[in-house]
Structures are given as C-alpha cells and as structure tokens.
Amino acid sequence: MSGSFIRLLDVTRTFDTGGGVNRLSIDIAEGGFTVLLGPSGCGKSTTLRLIAGLETPDSGRIEIGGRDVTFAPPSGRWLSMVFQSYALFPHLDVAENIIFGLKVRGMGRAERERRLADALSITGLDGLAERKPAQLSGGQRQRVALARAIVADHPLCLMDEPLSNLDAKLRHSVRQEIRALQRRLGMTVVYVTHDQTEAMGMADQVVLLNRGRVEQLGPPADLYLRPATAFTASFVGSPAMTLLPGSALQALAARDDMPADLPGLLLGLRAEDLVLEPEGQGLLPATVLYCEYLGAETYVYLSVEGAEPIVARLPGRQEQEPGTCLSLAWRAGAAHWFDRDSGRRRD
C-alpha cells in the first residue's frame, strides 16, 4: 500500500429522518482494503455514497487521488461499485452483463473482448459467458458483478454489503475470492459491512463508525487487542468483550492491581482470557447459566452479581451443569479499563 488515496475532511451529511455522518475525517490508502464497519444507522452506507458521488455533503471536502471531487458526479470519480443486489440485467447473458458499461462508453469491440476474457478468467467464470443470471448460483452472480467492476479498469472499487444475500458457507468462499482479487489487481477497495467477521478477515484497515462518527480506525488486530472505547470492545469480537462495572468489583478494591477509582470504571475482558476456578479459589463468584459446545471450543455463560451475563471461551469440550457455583479469574495482563461515563480507554 502507498499513501493516502481517498480523503474525507470534516465531512457532514445529515438527513431530516436522522442518520448520516458528522464531521467525518478518514484517510484511505491506495491499494488497500478498507472496511467501513458498524451497526445499522451508524453512517457507513452514507460514507460510501459520499465517496461515490451519490450523496453531496452539507459541508467538508472529499478528495480522490489528490483531486477535489466533493461536487463531482459519479462518472467523474473513476470508480466502480458492487452492490448487495448484484444489479444484473436478467435478459442479458453473463458476457453482456459484464461488458455493458464498456459498450455504453463506446469502447471498441476488440478491447471489450480482451477485457472480458481477462475478467472471466480472473473470476473463474470461464464457460459461463452465455448463461443468463437465472441459471447461476448466488456466488456466481456476485462474481459476475465483480467481473463487471474488473473490466471497468478503475483504480477504486466500492462494495456495499456484497455478500449479504449469500449463505454462510458461500459468504466465506466469496470473501476469500474478493480479497485475492483485490490483492492481484492492486485495486483500492472500500467495503461496507455490519458483519465484524468479514471486517476482521478481509481488511487492511477497519473504520468503525458509531452514530456518524469514527469510533476507532486501524488494523483489525488493533481494534480487537487494544480497543480505544467500550463501544469498540463490545462490537468487535465474537463473543463480545465482557464489560464489568466497577461496582461489581468492590470486593477486589484492596488488591494492588485494582485502580483506585473502581466505581468510575468498566473492566473489559475477552472471553478467551477468562479462567474458571473452583468456588472460592478465583476472584469473583460466578454461577453457570448454560454451555454451548461448538466442537473446538465451548462457550460457558455465567452470571456475576451486579453485571450482565458474561461468556468464557474454553478449549475443547467442557461440561458445566447449570447452577454450578464457580469463581471467575482472568489471565495476567488481560484487563482493559474504560471510563464508565465517556467510554474511552483508560491506560
């Protein structure tokens, strides 16, 4: 990846019905895979539409490749888009769907055919050029949409939840195909999803949005291992990070490793860092609610007085009867502390 290719500088776009973004500033590297992540209504689709030119900001500036495109039309931004709905013409075959935009632009037949052959090969659609969309699987239809973006030969590709219509197994395989294609072609990709598994598995950079603002921006590992806020901690990771209010930890206040202002803090703990000890031998009393055996690991759901139910991730198969009284502990160095009121990380 090289330097900044897309820049949003204090961009604001609001709607009468709510939502949008507020003074959003983001730098996106050229040749990278950036994921816009967040819950519904956080502003990720609005951000993508602003980059695409489908929305105009109320204020702020948008640059692509060092050029101010704040008010430029989509056709002047040298980008392609892949949508959740595939947006294929049902009466056209695969080849015609892929090169439709090239025909509209008046590109010569020889160049169209060359690009089509390359795109079919890259996306694994060889032999399917004459099929209609109705004769294709969901994954194949999405690959047609990807091929259409490839033949456009634009340096920037925007993807708006392109895998939402696929089943879980197919999502995984197409996810890997998209990532491999992006690396092979060196495209800059901006990808919108609410699925943090997609974000963690695909992104060079994750932009986590919350209520129209950037909550945290960085490599996926940074958001998981060192969340900047309690929101990041609870949104990134499956299962979510446990957040224990300081009031539930008062029995530990005298310990040397406990902060002095416990009531004003939240303690964050990842599920894999929790340790279950026999009753009375750990740090906090806990009661087993139920277990989920998932093959390679078991999730144990627990209740702790003064806190929401929490989950511990244990290796292999673990048998714990509901109602069993245990003690909860955590690995050394595993604690994340957040300010209870602001949600900001407390180092």
pLDDT computed for residue 11 by the predictor: 97
Sign of the Cα pseudo-torsion (140, 144, 146, 147, in order): positive
Res 177: pLDDT: 83
b/e per residue 282-307 (b: at least 16 CB within 10 A): bebbbbbbebeeeeeebbbbbebeeb
Residue 280 has which token pair? 């009375």
pLDDT confidence of residue 322: 96
Whether this prediction's pTM lies above 0.85 is answered by: yes
Instruction: Give the three-state DSSP class for 4.
Output: strand
In which order are the strands placed within the sheet that holds 20-29?
20-29, 4-14, 59-64, 67-68
Give the right CATH number for 4-234 from 3.30.70.260, 1.10.260.30, 3.40.50.300, 1.10.287.130.
3.40.50.300
Among candidate residues 210, 215, 257, 231, the one with its CA nearest the CA of residue 338: 231
Rg (CA), the chain: 24
Give the domain ranges of the chain.
4-234, 240-339
The two three-digit tokens of residue 214, written as one number: 């950037």
Evaluate whether the domain defined by 240-339 bears CATH number 2.40.50.140: yes
Say if residues 37 and 64 touch (Cβ distance below 8 Å). Answer: no
Answer left, alpha or beta for residue 20, where phi above 0 means left and psi between -120 and 50 means alpha: left
Per-residue tokens: 239 = 């299962």
In 3-state terms, what secondary structure has residue 267?
strand
The label of the residue with tokens 């695409």 reads 52
Look at residue 174 in the predicted model and tell me its pLDDT.
79
Cβ atoms within 10 Å of 173's Cβ, excluding its own: 11
Burial of 11 by CB count in 10 Å (0-12 exposed, 13-18 middle, 19+ buried)?
Answer: buried
**Two structure tokens written together for 39:** 């819950």
Question: Do residues 125 and 140 lie in contact, with contact meaning Cβ atoms separated by under 8 Å?
Answer: yes
Tell me if 341 sits within 8 A of 261, measured CB to CB. no
From the first residue on, what is the mean pLDDT of each consecutive set of 10 residues in the chain (347 residues)?
A: 84 92 95 95 94 96 96 92 83 92 88 89 87 89 86 89 79 83 90 91 95 96 96 93 92 88 94 94 94 94 93 93 95 94 93
**Coil, helix or strand at residue 300:** strand
pLDDT of the residue at 2? 54
CA distances from 258 to 34, 242, 312, 345 (A): 37, 17, 21, 15
Q: Is 106 left (phi over 0), alpha (psi -120 to 50) or beta?
A: left
Give yes or no for a contact between 143 and 155, defined as CB atoms under 8 angstroms apart: no
- What pLDDT score does 335 carry? 94
Q: Please tell me if the domain spanning 4-234 has the same topology as the one spanning 240-339.
A: no
Give the per-residue pLDDT at 86: 75
